[in-house]
Structures are given as structure tokens and as C-alpha cells.
Chains A and B, each alone.
Chain A
Amino acid sequence: MQSAAIKRPVLITIVCILGFIWIVFSFPGVFAPSLKKMGDWYPALFGILVATSFISYIGLWHMKQWGVRLFLLSFFVKESLLFLINDVNYVGIFFSIFFICSILPYYKRMDINL
């Protein structure tokens, strides 16, 4: 059964658009020389995080609960990784928390299906 389309709030639209722009610009970062110098597997790890974030924005755009869950998961994994390599970006954390605060109030209104 297809679930009825849920109207997307403007705030989530803005969050998603900003997120897609962030994805486009952070994608080339996967093969940044600085990331490669950290270790052979860091670009792969960062690449998985970028892909996960992208998929989570698609989920958010379609007002799906899995989108929020995936967004939270990728946020915590990314920040843990950055904390481990001692490269915490406070501006990034601020924006991510702002995004989370913007989307969480709508969580219950979102579709539970894929």
C-alpha cells in the first residue's frame, strides 16, 4: 500500500536544500589530499557518511521517519569520527543541531513506511 503524501513544511524544505548544497560541495572532499593523509580508509569512511547524509535528505524531502533516523545516525557517527581524529568543527555541529531541532518537531507527522 502506498501511504498518502504528507505536505512538507517550509522549514524542512530549506533544511533539505541546504543539505543538498552541502552534499554537492562536500563530495569532492572525499578525495581531499588532507583526508588521504590520515589513512587509506578515511576517504572510504567519509564517503559512506556523505552518501548516508544524502540518502537521509532524500528521506526528509519525502517526509519519511527513516530519513530523520538516518540523519541522526550519520550526524553522531560523523562527529564521533571527527572527535577521534581531533578535528571537531563547531560550525558544522551548530548547523547540524539547528537542522535536528528543525526536523524533530515534525517527526511524528512523518510517514513510517519506506
Chain B
Amino acid sequence: MVFWSLFKESVIFALQALIGNKLRSILSLLGITIGIFAVIMVFTIVDSLEQNLRKSVQSLGNDVVFIQKWPWTFGPNYPWWKYMNRPVPDYKELNYILDNCDGAQAAAFMVYASTTIKHQSSSIENVTVICASHQYDRVKNFEIADGRYFTDVESASGRPVAVIGDVLARVLFPNQSPLGQTIKVRGAKVMVIGVFKKEGESILGGSPDTQVLLPVNYARSLIDVNDEDLDPQIMVRAKDGITNDELISELTGLMRSRRRLNPLEEEDFALNQTSLISNQFDSLFDVVGIAGWIIGGFSILVGGFGIANIMFVSVKERTNIIGIQKSLGAKNYFILMQFLFESVFLSVIGGFIGLLIVYLLTLLAGDSMGMEIQLSKSNIILGFTISILIGVVSGFVPAYGASQLDPVEAIRSS
């Protein structure tokens, strides 16, 4: 009970001191506000970018292997000259994989093209057209909000049908259903049979909201599906219980045999998986995180020196009051707690304002950037931890000095 009454009394003393010197309190907490704002803002942006990126990578499929000409590894020693003469994967190789690969649950051949899509007087330029084989819906993660996917017959016979993105549907067919209507792709009429579910922006690009999906057997009449510029690729999804490594090992053997490579020859294809992208971004985020950590860490340290300075001034100013308190029976720890609470309060209020600014900025940035930026629970805990820590570390020396003052000398001081 005695402890709590002393605790309460020291808190009240500290609050009175802070309210009594408003301008000084505000100026000294500014350092902490800026420091906390810098650190937590960097961490919030890095965390949000990482989260969005992982979501985008996951949408490509964690258990999907991409057979392509170019590998997804980058860096200063990228031997592009070795890759540039490789052949691109083709549709016959897809059939070979579908016939022979035991570890594959599904596989699809696809190419990307960019073109203008028209409907009556409306047109949209640079729309990504995905031309894919039938099992595309089993390899790629997407949902259809309205209508349906291609039937076996439509895919095999190459009927002029399309599934379009949500944004395209709203722009080309305002206030009407796009199903059963026709759009023009490279001058050819294609019937809309489905609309993708809205997914929003993707950090890697390629959101289905602005894409058109065509059966590859129809797309052959519009584009050269073996054109290297369209990045032909085969996507293979692993069966349940088959790891990506096992699938890659089987696909390597199949592709080598299909392309008749002798055992001493290097592979002329790349087997890519999403972990290659996420691993490369992991190292990038680590570097950004460490840079934010160093810059923010030292800016908070400077803020801490500001609080320590103000606390020394505060002790000096109230020396005779300390003397009176001690002569009236105040214990050393009471004086210590009083000044320590004052510095912790200053610091926590500064940190709270810093966190509030970060939160408001995340709301504004989230709306304008079209990307979800969130102030996470771990960053809030971190912000308050740093604030309390700075308050204790920077306030302890002045507070301890005040607690050790001789009451007689303290009262005499002017």
C-alpha cells in the first residue's frame, strides 16, 4: 500500500512538472517523436511491402514449377550469353509432360501478349492477354466471379471465347453484364464467357483485374505462340505429397530426354519456382531493414540525449524543492521515481505521437498507393518499448543525481 501511494504521488509530481513547463516538455518530446516516427515508419513500410510481395508470389503458386528459357536468378554474374540461344518451351513439350510426368497434378502452356481490346466505341490499350492451355485453371490460383471457365471442347477446338478481368468488364461494359457480349482482340471478335474475381493491385504486376484469358488454340490464329518475346512457358503443379524438389528432379529428366541432351550437355531450359523470387526479396528487405535500424536507432539515441539534457535542467531548477521534500522525509527512491517517471512520461508521449503520425500516414498512403500498408501489432509494441527504454535510460542519471542530493545543500541552492 505504501509503495502504491508513493508511486501515485510520484506520478502526480511528474505530471505537474510536465504541465507546468509545457513548451519545454513539447520541445523535448519532439526528438523522441521524430525518432520513433522514423524507425516505425521504415519498419511499417518494409513489413507491408514484404507482406504484399509474399501475397503476390503466393498467387503464382508455391507448388508450381515454371519451365522457361530464362532462369529467375539475377545478379552481377548472370551468364545471359549462355541462356540467350536456348529454345523456348513449346506446346508439344506440354503434351509430353502431361503424358509422362507422374508427380504433376496439372500442367499448362501459356504465353503473354499485350494488345488493345475494343468493344464498340470503347477501347483499352496495353491489355495483357494470356493465351493458355486448358489446365491453366488448375495451375494458376484465380477465381471467376461471374460466368465460367472454358470447357474442354472450347479449349481443344480453339473457340473464340474469353475470360476478362473485373476492371476491363467495368470499363468496357458499364452498367451491363459482359457475359455473352463480344470484344475485339487484334481485330478478331471474341465472346466473353466469364469475369475474374477482383483481386486488386499486385506488387509484381500482372493482376487478373486487367487481363484477358484466351484458349491458346484460338490464340494461334492471332499471334505466334512460339514467339520468344511472348515468354512461352509451361507451368506444372505438383501432386499432393510431392515436393517441388521431387517435381523439379522428374521434370529435369523428362525435359533432358525430350530435348535429347546427352549426359555431358548442360540443360537448355530453366526450372523456376516462386521461392527463387521470395529468396531474392528476403535479402533485399534484410538490407532495407538494417539500414532503417541503423538510421532510426541513432536518431532515437539523439532524442534520448535531448531528454537527458532536459531532465538535468529540470533537476537543477528544482534542487531546492528536492531539498525541501527530503527534509520533510521524502526517501531517495521517491525522488528517483519522481524524475524517472517524468522522463518516461515525456518519452512515452513522444513515442505515442510518433506512432499516431505513422498510423495516419499509413491510412493516407494506403488509399493513394493502392497497396495495403498496415501498422502492425509488433511495430506498436516496438514503438512503446523503445519509448519506455529511452525514458528510463536517459532519465536515470539525472534522477539518480537528484536522489543523492544533500537536503541542506539542496535547500541552500539558488
A17 within 8 A of B: no
Stretch of B148-156, B169-177, B232-240, B397-405 that contacts chain A:
B397-405
A41 within 8 A of B: yes
A interface list, Cβ under 8 A from B: 2, 23-24, 27-28, 30-33, 36, 40-41, 43-44, 47-48, 50-51, 54-55, 58, 62, 113-114
Stretch of B101-109, B160-168, B291-299 that contacts chain A:
B291-299
Residue of B nearest to A45 (CB): B385
Residue of B39, B293, B332, B404 with highest tally of chain A CB at under 10 A: B293
Q: Which 6 A-B pairs have the closest CB atoms?
A: A28-B297, A33-B289, A44-B385, A40-B378, A47-B389, A114-B332
A58 partner residues in chain B, CB cutoff 8 A: 396-397, 400
By the criterion CB–CB under 8 Å, are A55 and B392 in contact? yes
> Given A31-B39, A31-B43 in contact, is the A36-B392 Cβ separation under 8 Å?
no
Q: Which of A24, A41, A44, A55 contacts B301 (CB 8 A)?
A: A24
B96 within 8 A of A: no
> Given A28-B301, A51-B389 in contact, is the A33-B286 Cβ separation under 8 Å?
yes
B406 within 8 A of A: yes
Q: Which of A28, A36, A51 contacts B393 (CB 8 A)?
A: A51
Q: How far is the CB of A114 from chain B (nearest CB, A)?
A: 5
- Chain B interface, number of residues (Cβ within 8 angstroms): 30
Residue of A nearest to B385 (CB): A44
By the criterion CB–CB under 8 Å, are A28 and B294 in contact? yes
Query: Beta-carbon contacts of B366-389 to A below 8 Å, as 1s and 0s?
Result: 000000000001100110011011
10 pairs, CB–CB < 8 Å, chain A vs chain B: A27-B301, A27-B393, A30-B385, A30-B386, A31-B382, A32-B293, A47-B385, A50-B389, A62-B404, A114-B332
Apart from A31-B293, A47-B388, A51-B393: 17 A-B pairs, beta carbons within 8 A: A2-B406, A31-B382, A31-B386, A32-B293, A33-B286, A33-B289, A33-B293, A40-B381, A43-B381, A43-B382, A44-B381, A47-B385, A51-B389, A55-B392, A58-B397, A62-B400, A62-B404
Residue of A nearest to B404 (CB): A2
A55 partner residues in chain B, CB cutoff 8 A: 392, 396
B333 within 8 A of A: yes
By the criterion CB–CB under 8 Å, are A113 and B301 in contact? no
By the criterion CB–CB under 8 Å, are B297 and A27 in contact? yes
A36 partner residues in chain B, CB cutoff 8 A: 43, 378, 382
Q: How far is the CA of A113 from the CA of B293 in the complex (A)?
A: 39
Q: Which of A33, A44, A51, A113 contacts B392 (CB 8 A)?
A: A51
